[in-house]
Structure formats: structure tokens, C-alpha cells
Chains A and B, each alone.
Chain A
């Protein structure tokens, strides 16, 4: 009977754009709900898992925006590396994984009103806004991307390494201090 149903649905000849669009909206909804779970769930570990869903959802949005490379990097770096680190940190910090610590604050109503107002303003602005045309349609070739990193964008590219180095040195200094205290 199910096979029958599937056959009937396939026979409906749903236009491709409709499928594409509904999948897109499904991804958006899943991403938004997962993001909401990140901030509302009581257990930090569960929040981390929900964060994984959010990040994968964002990667899927990148795919829809013709940025395959960005999508792969998003999954590789954020889900693969950063999220793993977060989960490790949660599991290794006994206090965090043992008890169900409330991570939400006690001013739910105020924060809800404030963020709701901000959301409404942003939503209205974006809906009314006429977005400028992107410089060039389609995907950006990887070698083009690499070339622009070392030509037009060489300064920001190198500057990022300074930012990362400062963060690295700071992390070492802070971790070292914690160790010295115990």
C-alpha cells in the first residue's frame, strides 16, 4: 500500500523547483529550530548536539547559495573540528556533564521581548530591502578563490593569521595560569 502511495506521489509530476524550494524551507526550519534548542535546552551536552544540527543546516544553506566549497569547509571545520572540541570540553568538565545546569537566565520575558522586537525590525527591513545583484552568478572556482586570497585579499588573509596567533597566545597564557593555580 505504501509502495502504491509513493507511486501515486511520483506520478503527480511535482515541478522540480517546488521540490527544491520545499527542501530549502525544510532545511531553514530545521536550522532555526535546532538553533532555538541550542539556547533553550537545559543540558549543555544536548545543546552541543543541537548545535551540530544547526551548523549542518547552515552548510546546506551554503549549498543552496552555490557555495559548495564553503559548505564543505563549514562541515569539516565547524562540525568536524570545533564541535568535537566543544563536546570534549563538556564531557571532560565534570561539573557540566554531571548535573543539569540551567543555562538559561532568569529574565526570559525581557530577553524574549527584546530579541522579538529586534527580529521584527530586521525581518521588516530585509523583506522591504532591495538586495543588490551579486557581482557574478554561479559558483566561484576554487583556483580563483585561492588566487584572490594571495592577490586582492592578501592583506585580510595575512591579518587573520595575526588574529589567530593572538588568540593562540592568549589561550596558552590563560591555560597555563589555570594549571599554575591548582
Chain B
């Protein structure tokens, strides 16, 4: 590979290179700014907007010269482009949320935004990787950035506990995943997903060992999406982390981890005589049930949203467990809806818990009288999370359950519908406190312009996907056509 080839290869990855440069610029030149929280936030916003624009331009004007780049390490296809675009949206909203919530020291601001940018590169890397080594490295970049982001806060005690817990569980799960990857390498003789696929297809491998390898990799990635039984870190971390970081790690790593799950399982292992669909289906039912049942009894709004996001991951796993084009489509559609509605809900939780001075759900009494717009917007996102039409969450659930029914996995659809009913209870409970109860004290909800922008974008996404889904469905169908 010559230097010329390297440069040509790099063109497709201009958005990521740009994000890395922006991170360098933020760390090096943050001293130029007087009001770092605002200025560096705007720089990050521009960086993600430009990266998204570059991605749009490259994907529509510069056709990939080959399907693989850098000696088969990464691949540029419709799927990775779509996921990278979603990641740009997630990061853009996360920066808006960070600007609207003041939680870190001035000295840490540059590091905070730089780590956000590094994390986005890791997330992009996950969606692009076609090689176990690259998957591992990208996952490490995401993990390391998120461990540190969780601990950058003034609420020392909870944040330190959360960060340590996150780090220890994360390191363990990475180790488990690496062990699985080493077994895959030992069995197939390669870490390239095309070659592992070919080796599995050729047969003759020890089925038990291969199944074990697959389970170990699933466990490692399952940690990132808070899949049962690897969900126990999520509530503590979500509660202890600064709310914008909670919002980010409840969405960003999930999107990328599901992209890797789809690519690793459908393009790297295949289903030659190995029934991992039922395992995934069982785990999906366990995940959504545990998430929903525990969420019902939560009083802390961030913990409630943590268990809710565990349950949401359970629904998405249904689409993963159904081996059809519709299954994969439903995963991406649900993820897209989840990005907007979950980030939207967190965007409103930030000013509300600040205004009432507590994270208890029961302290949100009568918020609707004091802040009618914020309460209405939060209601919209919560109802979307519950799967009520015409919001995006309904479309996501509709696709997921259709995939389960079409794939002859009726029990998954039944479990999903039953769980949605349980979930409705705890989402509506928040709405009940906001609307039906009288406010106990006078409160003034201050909406930062960045929060307002984030809410508008998230609401637009939630409603447009729900009401006029055709363009999104077309893009998603194109993206999963690679499988």
C-alpha cells in the first residue's frame, strides 16, 4: 500500500478525520476562549454539522472505489454510512444537551468536548469495522471516552462510584469479548469478517467451541447495550453521570453496538447450523422484562429512564433475533426513533430536575402549570417511548413486532406487546404527576437556548418519523440491503 493509495483511501473517511482534527483544535486552543462552555460547545456543534455534511456529500458524490479500505480493515457501504449519519445526529444533540447543562469545571470543558469528539470517531469506527481488531479498538475508544465522561462532574460521590463501576464492568466485558474473538480466530484462522464467514460456511469447525465464541462476543457487546444479564451497571451509571452524558451513553454506544452485532453475526458468522437466534430471542425477552418490571418501582427519574432504556434495548433485540430483511430494517428504524425520543426526553429532564432541585419523579408535581411547553414536549417523548401513535416509537414497535410475527416468532411479539403495556404505566405516571397534581412550590423552569434547539430537533424527528415515515423507511431499506 503506497502513500498515494493511503490518501485515496482516506477520502471516504474525511468526516472522521475532520472530527479528530476538531478534537485536537479544542484541546490545543481552548485558552483562546473566555466562555469555554459556550464557545467550545459551538465549535463541537459546527464540527458535527460539518462532519455530517461531508458524509452526505461523500456518500452522494464520491462513490466508494471498492467495498473495503485499508487492507480490508473497514468497509464503506450503505449500512455504515447510514449508521455514521445517525451517530452525527446523536452527537450533535448530545453537544446541545451539554451546552444547556452546566456540570463540569471550567478547567475540564476542553477535555469534555474533545472526548465527545473522540467518542464519535470510535462510534463511527464501530459501524465501519470489518475486522475483529478494528471492532475491538473502536470499542475501546468508545469505552475509554465514556468512562471519563461519566466521571467529569461536580457531584463527586455518585459520579465516582458510577465511573468506577462502569470501568470495572466494562473492562471485564471487554475481556470476555476478546476471549470470544480469540476463539473465533483460533477456529477460523482469521480476524477478517469475510474470511471468518467463509470458514464457518465451509464447515468442519467444532460447533460447540464456535457457539461458545459467539456467546462470549455477544456478552461483550451486550454490555454496551445493557442487555440482561449485563445490565446491572446501567442504573447506577445513568444516575451518577451528568445528565447529558447519561443521555449520550444511553443512545450512542447502543446504536454502534447494534450495528456491530448485525455485522458480526450476519456477515461474520452466519447461521450455518448454529441457532443463536433463539438465544438472542430469549435474551431479548429477559432484557425487556427485567427493564420494565424494575422501572415500574423507580422514583428517580434518571434511574427510571435507565431501566426504560434497558427495556428499549430488549425490544430492539427482537429485530436482531429474527433472521429476515424486515428484522434488520426494524432494528435500524427503532434505533432511529429511539435516538430522537430518548435524547428528547433527557433534554427536558435536564432543565426540569434543575428547576425542582431533585431527581424524584414525585417532585415533578404540577410542572405543567409552571412550564406548559416543557411538560407537553416531555409528554410527547414519553408517549413515543411507550409506543403510542403517531409518534416514532409506534412505528418502531410496529416494525419490530411485524418482523417477529413474519419470522414465525410469535412469542417474541407477544412478550413485546405485554411489556409495552407494563411500560405504559411508568411513562404515564410521570405525565400524571406533571398534569394532574398541584404544584407544591413555586418553580421557574429556565430553558437554555441549546436545550430548546435540542428539543425542537428531537421533536421534529420523533413526529416526522411517526407521521411521514416513507423517506426514512426507504433509506433504512437501502442500508440493510447489504445483508
Contact = CB atoms under 8 A, between A and B. Distances in A.
**Which interface residue of A124, A128, A169, A181 has the most chain B CB atoms within 10 A?**
A169
A51 to B, nearest CB: 16
Contacts of B145: 166, 170
A163 interface: yes
A3 to B, nearest CB: 47
Given A125-B183, A132-B186, A169 B121 contact: no
A134 B20 CA distance: 36
Nearest to B74: A155
Interface string A140-167: 0000000000011111100110110111
Contacts of A169: 27, 111, 114-115, 118, 148
B137 A159 contact: yes
Contacts of B243: none
B140 interface: yes
A167 B125 contact: no
Contacts of B69: 155
A167 B190 CA distance: 29
Contacts of A129: 183, 186-187, 206, 209
B111 A163 contact: no
A182 to B, nearest CB: 12
B67 interface: no
Nearest to B69: A155
A125 B6 CA distance: 41
What range describes how many residues of B lie at the interface? Answer: 35 or more
A177 interface: yes
A17 interface: no
Q: DSSP class of B's interface residues: helix, strand, loop or mixed? A: helix
Contacts of A135: 189
Contacts of B212: 121-122, 125
B70 A155 contact: yes
A173 B187 contact: no
B188 A132 contact: yes
Interface in B378-420: none
A155 B183 CA distance: 23
A169 B141 CA distance: 12
B278 interface: no
Contacts of A162: 20, 118, 121-122, 141
Contacts of A154: 1, 6, 70-71
What range describes how many residues of A lie at the interface? Answer: 35 or more
Interface in B82-140: 105, 107-108, 111-112, 114-115, 118-119, 121-122, 125, 131, 133-134, 137-138, 140
Contacts of A132: 186-189, 199
A82 interface: no
Contacts of B108: 173, 176-177
Contact of A170 (B111, B134, B137): B111
A51 B138 CA distance: 28
Given A131-B186, A132-B186, A160 B137 contact: yes
B1 A163 contact: no
Given A125-B183, A129-B187, A166 B144 contact: yes
B148 A170 contact: yes
B176 to A, nearest CB: 9
Interface in A51-86: none
Nearest to A164: B144
B146 to A, nearest CB: 10
B156 interface: yes
A36 B448 CA distance: 54
B187 A131 contact: yes
B147 interface: yes
A124 B73 CA distance: 32
B134 A159 contact: yes
B208 interface: yes
B14 to A, nearest CB: 15
Given A121-B212, A170-B111, 16 more contacts: A132-B187, A154-B71, A155-B71, A156-B73, A156-B134, A159-B134, A162-B141, A163-B140, A163-B141, A166-B141, A166-B145, A169-B114, A170-B115, A174-B148, A177-B108, A180-B105
6 contacts: A132-B188, A152-B1, A159-B134, A166-B141, A170-B144, A177-B107
Interface of A: 121-122, 124-126, 128-135, 151-156, 159-160, 162-163, 165-167, 169-170, 172-174, 176-177, 180-181
Closest 4 CB pairs of A and B: A170-B148, A132-B189, A155-B70, A173-B111
